[in-house]
């Protein structure tokens, strides 16, 4: 268990990889760069999906499903988007296998079954969706069109890491069409807000809302709105993006509507997505050297009850009480597991649930039954308290809220301590080297300067924060004038 | 709207295709054989998923996610399964596109980016999953392993139809591992029961539970348990299957466990799945010449309220009342839409909701406000009733239950009238020709006879029903002895 887990201070990256596997979240598969999401990891994804899906529907979106494959001729229609993804596309070229005549019992691709047009496995779905929208949009009455899709996508990345960067991943992608530019911009910003609310309220992961610089923008977008989180190793994680696509796709796929005034106009578009990458962010925001730490709102198991007993008689008495507590907590919407396996000792169970990040652990022994008490331990601080049995429900409810808040506060505090305002490039490099994190600095707005800073330091512009003050200064590298500070960091 | 819908009696197949598109359920895409599932169709799928997922979890299963791609060498490991699916596999051979030097602005597959080993887009996931299970199963303590996956799969079918047979479709696939044969058989049968319960309780679609003959069995299975439904045109639809896989995959992927006694044994397996095909079955079981008819338990909108008004003042008064009714119904878990669009007249709205199969329609006019009444129309029978406003909640709740039951009863009645016991081949052909449906007949148990009957009549053995009586007879074609009757039908 956690005894074998590498310490974060020793090797953060190794700690992460080990933790994902040991906590039964995911593992590498036989397919290069593709992961298997194990039941415990998938249960976190299901909780994320449920919360996000509700927020999407509350903001007027409906779900739909579009094909996995994009014919090459559609894929290349929006040139910038195509260029941005061309290098990482898995391509289907054939539709049949046959017995290999040279190799008994083996199959080979049937050379006769070559597709006339190759199919790209979607790396993102703008092309196939906008080709479809062409048939759905005629009049201003058809707008806005507010659609989301839950799907798998494939980007053939060369260097992959479980959850953070995998060749196939699960995500949602919203694709909306609007009559005016203002509406589309408002939609893109609204979804950035939705993502920020989700990250902070559910994941307890504070994020900076901002806009991307030209070089970090989504291929085919006019503006990319992002939420950026800070991991415990001082590196930033782009956690979600929402794109204002202008009329680029509407023009590439000739999607027009007739306005109230009877004029033909191209529509305005957005797209926005978050993925299973969020699980990587969740892990790296809160977890520790003992294992996962999960915020209660996304924990598949919020409370585990472990019986402490010497014989079957004791266990039976404890079980009666444990079942009562379980039922009472469940009736309050708390997810509870009562672990009465006789193949593991309590100490081993404690270590297992620490590793798996269960927020609250209740230990229930024979002496507790006599005293009408139980011991409650919280995962985030390891604090234990013995409380009266009768108080357990309200105590646990309060504790879960408290853990959720504490995790967010800790993460905010960490970010505060790891955000540095610098005014020259020496300070920039020093801050980045000494503690990492976000570096708030003036930048002259050119891609050249951005690239040079990246070259010297490996830090990139994470975003121009929405709330950046309009106080002019001079660029940290070139000394040229700059309108406002931007946020730099090394990033995942 | 429905005025343009082909009548079922004229051309059932055309009626189906038109209805799927006109009711906004799905449409064909730019990708051969792949469909776009539109929001209204996807909302039905979400309701199906929610109900099934709950039933899977209540029977102890957890969700997980496995890669979309299967390396060819794994795909071919279980020979029968590989042989069964080889002819319909989409194959990824390359992982990059590049600018086409002969064609500016176009892309081509990068010939340098050929995969060393081709990747099959999963037509089903036994191979990749069993290769993974090898690492998860060591001891009897790891069993049973009860996992389900919600995913997309691809089978390159030559003749496709929306929902019923598409190159890509959405489904769930359960994959379980057990210590004993008896446990695995019990699991496969349990999931057949789960599917039957879902079909009958939620879809209001009666099904026959049975086992497949050798020729209709899943490639790689020892036994395939099926649920078979009867459509309104007298053709059968295989609605869900659950397979006892024996030790075939365990042997192909060398998955063994150490028993309590310390012996190494191969594990026993099942797999089971239902897909978006169910939506096709749902449509063809209940719908009519006016459009969709949806059972309340799966209807995205259960009740629609349409205001009948002459001016804004009337509309405002109606809206106040409609909102009260909406809130009251929603608080009871009923999904309600209040349609106050001013771009359509009531008659057009009525036709639209008939087409879309909304079970209950409430019309609310100014005179209703005066009389404290409203008009309730049910979609299944078109009956209308004027009821007292104060009774609306309990009336609607009862009506929804009643519609759900009525649809099931009608479908059972239809099946009863279209199931014919025959004792010779003349009767067989006559019954099939005159009314179609299920033909219950003695069969000598040989594949040869099965094939000849198929050749003569296009009917296949849908299943050997679980509840078939063990009363011996003689084969309807050959006169050879037969242990029991089996069910024949033409099938989708």
Contact between chains at A30 and B168 (C-beta distance less than 8 A): no
Q: What CATH number is given to the structural domain containing B438?
A: 3.30.110.30
Do A274 and A309 belong to one domain? no
Q: What CATH number is given to the structural domain containing B135?
A: 3.30.930.10
- Is residue A125 very low, low, confident or very high in pLDDT (cuts 50, 70, 90)? very high
The C-alpha of A262 sits at a distance from chain B's nearest C-alpha, in angstroms, of 16
Asked if A97 contacts A108 with a C-beta cutoff of 8 angstroms, the reply is yes
Residue A127: asked if its preceding bond is cis (omega within 30°), the reply is no
Closest alpha carbon within chain B to A25:
B64
What's the whole-number mean pLDDT along residues A245-255? 97
Stated as kind and residue range, the H or E segment containing A313 is helix A312-331
For residue A3, what pLDDT is reported? 63
Percent of chain A topping pLDDT 90: 97
Do A395 and A439 belong to one domain? no
Do A185 and A46 belong to one domain? yes
Please name which of A12, A16, A31, A255 lies closest in space to residue A127, comparing C-alpha atoms. Answer: A255
Do A350 and A268 belong to one domain? no
Closest alpha carbon within chain A to B131:
A30
Q: Which of A86, A128, A170 sits opposite B97 (nearest CB)?
A: A86
For B10, residues 6+ apart whose C-beta sits below 8 A from its C-beta are: none
Contact between chains at A132 and B36 (C-beta distance less than 8 A): yes
What's the whole-number mean pLDDT along residues B309-322? 96
CA distance A96 to B90: 6
Do A365 and A438 belong to one domain? no
Residues of A in contact with B86 (CB under 8 A): 96-99, 107
Tell me what ipTM this predicted complex has: 0.97
* B170 token code pair: 């959405």
What's the whole-number mean pLDDT along residues B55-79? 97
Burial grade of B470 (CB within 10 A; 0-12, 13-18, 19 or more): exposed
Cβ within 8 Å of A, B 330-359: 343
What's the whole-number mean pLDDT along residues B324-350? 96
CA distances from A366 to A329, A375, B262, B406 (A): 21, 12, 35, 56
For residue A105, what pLDDT is reported? 87
Residues of A in contact with B88 (CB under 8 A): 95-96
Q: Is residue A293 part of a domain?
A: no
What total number of domains does chain B contain? Answer: 3
The whole-angstrom distance between residue A416's C-alpha and the CA centroid of its chain comes to: 22
What's the whole-number mean pLDDT along residues A321-350? 96
C-alpha torsion A204→A206→A212→A217, nearest 10:
-20
Asked if A66 contacts B26 with a C-beta cutoff of 8 angstroms, the reply is no
For residue B79, what pLDDT is reported? 92
Q: Is residue B410 part of a domain?
A: no
More reliable by pLDDT, B158 or A134: A134
Map residue B307 onto helix, strand or coil.
strand
Contact between chains at B97 and A90 (C-beta distance less than 8 A): no
Q: Is residue A291 part of a domain?
A: no
Contact between chains at A95 and B90 (C-beta distance less than 8 A): yes
Do B269 and B309 belong to one domain? no
Do B451 and B330 belong to one domain? no
Task: Tell me the helix, strand and coil percentages in chain A, rounded to 5.
Answer: 40, 30, 30
B9 in contact with chain A, both atoms CB, cutoff 8 A: no
A132 in contact with chain B, both atoms CB, cutoff 8 A: yes
Asked if B405 contacts B392 with a C-beta cutoff of 8 angstroms, the reply is no
Asked if B175 contacts B221 with a C-beta cutoff of 8 angstroms, the reply is no
Indicate whether A222 pLDDT > 80: yes
Residues of B in contact with A45 (CB under 8 A): 65
Do B79 and B154 belong to one domain? yes
Do A282 and A364 belong to one domain? no
Q: Which of A286, A310, A344 is the last residue of a domain?
A: A286
A21 in contact with chain B, both atoms CB, cutoff 8 A: no
CA distance B129 to A220: 37
Q: Which of B371, B399, B427 is the last residue of a domain?
A: B399
Do B388 and B307 belong to one domain? yes
Q: Is residue A411 part of a domain?
A: no
A116 in contact with chain B, both atoms CB, cutoff 8 A: no
Residues of B in contact with A89 (CB under 8 A): 95-97
Indicate whether B269 pLDDT > 60: yes
Indicate whether B413 pLDDT > 60: yes
Please name which of A333, A325, A337, A336 lies closest in space to residue A393, comparing C-alpha atoms. Answer: A325
What's the whole-number mean pLDDT along residues A120-140? 98
Closest alpha carbon within chain A to B127:
A30
Asked if A213 contacts A491 with a C-beta cutoff of 8 angstroms, the reply is no
A151 in contact with chain B, both atoms CB, cutoff 8 A: yes
Contact between chains at B92 and A89 (C-beta distance less than 8 A): no
Do B478 and B384 belong to one domain? no
Indicate whether A166 pLDDT > 80: yes
Listing DSSP states for A329-346 in one string gives: HHHTT--EEE---SSS-H
Indicate whether B2 pLDDT > 70: no
Task: For residue range A422-457, list pLDDT tens digits in order.
Answer: 999 999 999 999 999 999 999 999 999 999 999 999
Q: Is residue A404 part of a domain?
A: no
CA distances from A43 to A270, A287, B137 (A): 29, 17, 21
For residue B444, what pLDDT is reported? 96
Indicate whether A1 pLDDT > 80: no
Do B196 and B132 belong to one domain? yes
Averaged pLDDT of chain B: 97
Q: Is residue B374 part of a domain?
A: yes
- Is residue A343 very low, low, confident or very high in pLDDT (cuts 50, 70, 90)? confident
A89 in contact with chain B, both atoms CB, cutoff 8 A: yes
Residue span of the structural domain in which B324 resides:
301-399
Percent of chain B topping pLDDT 70: 99
Residues of A in contact with B143 (CB under 8 A): none
Q: Which of A286, A316, A331 is the last residue of a domain?
A: A286
Q: Which residue has the tokens 């009736």?
A: A331
Indicate whether B252 pLDDT > 70: yes
Closest alpha carbon within chain B to A37:
B65
Q: Which of B29, B69, B86 sits opposite A132 (nearest CB)?
A: B29
Task: For residue range A180-204, list pLDDT tens digits in order.
Answer: 999 999 999 999 999 999 999 999 9
Residues of B in contact with A97 (CB under 8 A): 72, 75, 82, 86-87, 89, 91, 120
Map residue B171 onto helix, strand or coil.
strand
Q: Is residue A409 part of a domain?
A: no
What's the whole-number mean pLDDT along residues A333-342? 96
Listing DSSP states for B189-219 in one string gives: HHHHHHHHHHHHHTS----EEEE--GGGS-T
Identify the bridge partners of residue B412 per DSSP, sorted by sequence position.
none
CA distances from B239 to A112, B205, B393, B418, B453 (A): 33, 10, 35, 18, 23
Q: Is residue B467 part of a domain?
A: yes
What's the whole-number mean pLDDT along residues B43-72? 98
CA distance B179 to B164: 36
Averaged pLDDT of chain A: 97
Residues of A in contact with B344 (CB under 8 A): none
Q: Which pTM was predicted?
A: 0.97
Q: What CATH number is given to the structural domain containing A356?
A: 3.40.50.800
For residue B3, what pLDDT is reported? 63
For residue A158, what pLDDT is reported? 87
Cβ within 8 Å of A, B 25-54: 27, 29-31, 34-39, 42-43, 45-46
């Amino acid at each position: 268990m956690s005894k074998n887990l590498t310490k974060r201070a020793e090797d953060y990256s190794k700690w992460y990889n080990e933790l994902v596997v040991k906590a039964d979240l995911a593992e590498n598969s036989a397919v290069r760069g593709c992961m298997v999401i194990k039941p415990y990891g998938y249960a976190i994804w299901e909780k994320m999906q449920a919360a996000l899906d509700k927020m999407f529907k509350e903001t007027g979106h409906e779900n739909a499903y579009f094909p996995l494959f994009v014919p090459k001729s559609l894929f290349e229609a929006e040139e910038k988007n195509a260029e941005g993804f061309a290098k990482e596309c898995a391509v289907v070229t054939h539709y049949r296998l046959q017995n290999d005549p040279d190799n008994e019992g083996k199959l080979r691709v049937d050379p006769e079954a070559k597709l006339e047009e190759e199919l790209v496995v979607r790396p993102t779905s703008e092309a196939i969706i906008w080709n479809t929208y062409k048939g759905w949009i005629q009049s201003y009455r058809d707008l806005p069109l507010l659609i989301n899709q839950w799907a798998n996508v494939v980007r053939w990345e060369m260097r992959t890491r479980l959850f953070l960067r995998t060749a196939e991943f699960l995500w949602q992608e919203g694709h909306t069409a609007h009559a005016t530019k203002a509406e589309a911009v408002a939609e893109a910003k609204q979804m950035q807000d939705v993502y920020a609310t989700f990250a902070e309220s559910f994941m307890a992961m504070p994020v900076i809302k901002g806009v991307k610089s030209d070089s970090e923008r989504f291929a085919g977008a006019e503006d990319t709105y992002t939420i950026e989180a800070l991991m415990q190793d001082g590196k930033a994680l782009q956690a979600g993006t929402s794109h204002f696509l202008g009329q680029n796709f509407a023009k590439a796929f000739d999607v027009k509507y007739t306005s109230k005034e009877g004029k033909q106009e191209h529509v305005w578009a957005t797209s926005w997505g978050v993925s299973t990458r969020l699980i990587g962010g969740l892990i790296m925001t809160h977890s520790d050297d003992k294992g996962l730490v999960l915020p209660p709102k996304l924990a598949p198991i919020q409370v585990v009850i472990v019986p402490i007993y010497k014989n079957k008689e004791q266990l039976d008495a404890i079980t009666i009480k444990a079942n009562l507590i379980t039922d009472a907590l469940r009736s309050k919407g708390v997810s509870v597991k009562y672990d009465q396996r006789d193949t593991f000792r309590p100490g081993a169970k404690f270590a297992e649930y620490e590793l798996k990040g269960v927020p609250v652990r209740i230990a229930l022994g024979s002496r507790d039954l006599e005293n009408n008490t139980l011991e409650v331990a919280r995962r985030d601080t390891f604090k234990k308290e013995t409380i009266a049995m009768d108080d357990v429900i309200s105590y646990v409810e309060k504790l879960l809220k408290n853990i959720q808040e504490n995790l967010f506060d800790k993460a905010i505090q960490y970010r505060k301590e790891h955000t540095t305002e610098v005014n020259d490039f020496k300070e920039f490099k020093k801050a980045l080297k000494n503690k990492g994190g976000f570096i708030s600095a003036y930048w002259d707005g050119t891609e050249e300067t951005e690239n040079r800073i990246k070259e010297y330091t490996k830090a990139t512009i994470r975003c121009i924060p929405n709330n950046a003050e309009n106080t002019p200064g001079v660029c940290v590298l070139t000394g040229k004038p700059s309108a406002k500070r931007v946020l730099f960091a090394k990033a995942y």
